[in-house]
Structure 1
Amino acid sequence: MSDAFTIYGQSFSSRLLIGSALYPSPQCMHQAIAASGSEIVTVSLRRQNSHAGGDDFWQLIKDTGLTVLPNTAGCHSVQEVMTLAQMCREVFATDWIKLELIGDDYNLQPDPIALITAAEQLLAQGFKVLPYCTDDLVVCQRLVSAGCEVIMPWAAPIGTGKGILNPYALHTIRERLPDVTLIVDAGLGLPSHACQAMEMGVDAVLLNSAIAGANDPVLMAQAFANATVAGRQSYLAGPMVEKSTAVPSTPTLGMPAWHTMSEDI
């Protein structure tokens, strides 16, 4: 039975989304993306330069055959977002956009107020918005109310690899927004972090630095792919109930009682 999930009505089997930045070489990027089994790859228009191999990079992305998710990385204002999103729609021929609007340059935290404004304006112009946000429930609720069908809260500040800093917050978002496609984006550093997120019932995870920054990005991409599947299977299977005391796996009821010689004397 298929265990696909949807993003704005489009169905996907792989629950691992992958980024295209920071790899040691374009060839390594291509190999890692293939090894991940991902069906969606994120790209940033700001990183493209036709005078520095930008056309070759874009050809590599097209050669993957994956769905392209452009992002507004590096934007600090609503106007910047709107301008870059329009350019992305023109260049990549898609109305999908990963909305990034940074409010603090130290931890790259999204600006929660401007983010909602930008989402509203993008949606009004026909974009399918995937907003990168913090794990703040109210911000997520506001984005959904604005019309976003997908929410992408961080696990930790982008590029830190610290894993899920606030499991309670992500649990709460999942419970309060059960019908929204929930993708954990940013902060995951190990396959075990991805597995933990998937065990919470999130729909997918998005990775870049954790794969591109590994000693062996291709092997790490495979590891994250396996961890994502394992976490999803664990969620579907349902974990055992935690107990405060030890419980033997072998029951003692009905076991024969053995007596020593000294007991018979």
Structure 2
Amino acid sequence: MTSPASADPLRLYGETFASRVLLGTSRYPSLQSLSDSIAAAQPGMVTVALRRQMNEGGAEAGFFDLLKRHSVPLLPNTAGCQSVAEAVTTAHMAREIFATDWIKLELIGDDYTLQPDPIGLIEAAAQLVKEGFKVLPYCTEDLVIGRRLLDVGCEALMPWGAPIGTGKGVINPYGLRVLRERLPDVPLIVDAGLGVPSHACQVMEWGFDGVLLNTAVSQATHPPAMARAFALAAEAGRAAYVAGPMAEREAAEASTPVVGMPFWHHDGSAA
């Protein structure tokens, strides 16, 4: 039997992915917890911060072997980079190690909010696209910056819902929904700031194409259970979007017709 997810796959750069959930791999309490969370979520891709894993000794601890065993497509990222040169160099290292052209481009411009550097992000994206990378840029909900990233060759965007690791959910619903409305044909994956499954369901109901999660899962009391909950929420939100939600109304409207109702009830008065 064909599952709803496989019948409606996520499409990025001409490739399809069975799940609209992307899962990060940092800060899990153990490798076993990470492994169980990947198994529970069945994500379309898993992200890996090359520099961070190397610095934390993840390679020696069998981190990369674990990812290989799950056979989930890898999305290396440039987490921790603060300059164009640093991001581009990290992307090239990731391509050599993981044998993939996919890269989640992060270029942080502020240490406190971890907000992306929009100017450097566009410059780095332009360079990496020319060098054959499939770039997924981590950006804010700014429509103009999004368009500039598309102009330099990005085929998808990863706008934040809120600053990384806050779990606040979408802090600018208007901006995020405008981005979706104005870029109707561009794959948009909400990345960063989601904290609970209802946040993921909400943005999927708005028509976003996927969600990327890390802290919300890795820092949960039971990461595998939370990973599964997010997967179900994203699937439900997507199904609701495809189904076409009813129009919101200001006034109440009875769902039961008045045909056959006693005449003394028609005006709401009692007998």
TM-score band, normalised by the shorter chain? Answer: over 0.9
User: Which residue does 1:91 correspond to in 2?
Assistant: 97
Conservation of the 8 A alpha-carbon contact between 2:207 and 2:238: yes
The reply on whether 1:4 has 2:9 as its aligned counterpart is yes
The reply on whether 1:16 has 2:15 as its aligned counterpart is no
Cα deviation, residue 223, structure 1 = 0.5
Cα deviation, residue 213, structure 1 = 0.5
Counterpart pick for 2:40 among 35, 40, 47: 35
Counterpart pick for 1:215 among 214, 221, 238: 221
User: Which residue does 2:70 correspond to in 1?
Assistant: 64
SS at match of 1:230: helix
Cα deviation, residue 50, structure 1 = 9.0
Residues 90-99 or 167-176, more deviating: 167-176
Supply the AA of the counterpart residue of 1:40: M
The reply on whether 1:199 has 2:205 as its aligned counterpart is yes
SS at match of 1:150: coil
Could you list the runs of 5+ residues in structure 2 that have no partner in the other structure?
none
The reply on whether 1:232 has 2:263 as its aligned counterpart is no
The reply on whether 1:115 has 2:98 as its aligned counterpart is no
Residues 146-155 or 248-257, more deviating: 248-257
For residues 94 and 52 of structure 1, the distance between their equivalents in structure 2, rounded to whole angstroms, comes to 22
SS at match of 1:122: helix
For residues 115 and 74 of structure 1, the distance between their equivalents in structure 2, rounded to whole angstroms, comes to 13
Superposition TM-score, scaled by structure 1 size: 0.95
Supply the AA of the counterpart residue of 1:216: H
For residues 87 and 258 of structure 1, the distance between their equivalents in structure 2, rounded to whole angstroms, comes to 78
SS at match of 1:33: helix
Supply the AA of the counterpart residue of 1:5: L
Supply the AA of the counterpart residue of 1:149: E
For residues 263 and 95 of structure 2, the distance between their equivalents in structure 1, rounded to whole angstroms, comes to 76
Root mean square deviation of aligned Cα? 1.8
Query: 1:175 and 1:53, CA in 2 relative to 1: closer, same or farther beyond 3 A?
Result: closer
Counterpart pick for 1:180 among 172, 175, 186: 186
For residues 144 and 42 of structure 2, the distance between their equivalents in structure 1, rounded to whole angstroms, comes to 33
Query: 1:258 and 1:243, CA in 2 relative to 1: closer, same or farther beyond 3 A?
Result: closer
Could you list the runs of 5+ residues in structure 1 that have no partner in the other structure?
none
1:122-171 Cα distance to aligned partner (Å, 9 max, x none): 11111110000001000000001111001000000010000011111111
Query: 1:50 and 1:81, CA in 2 relative to 1: closer, same or farther beyond 3 A?
Result: closer
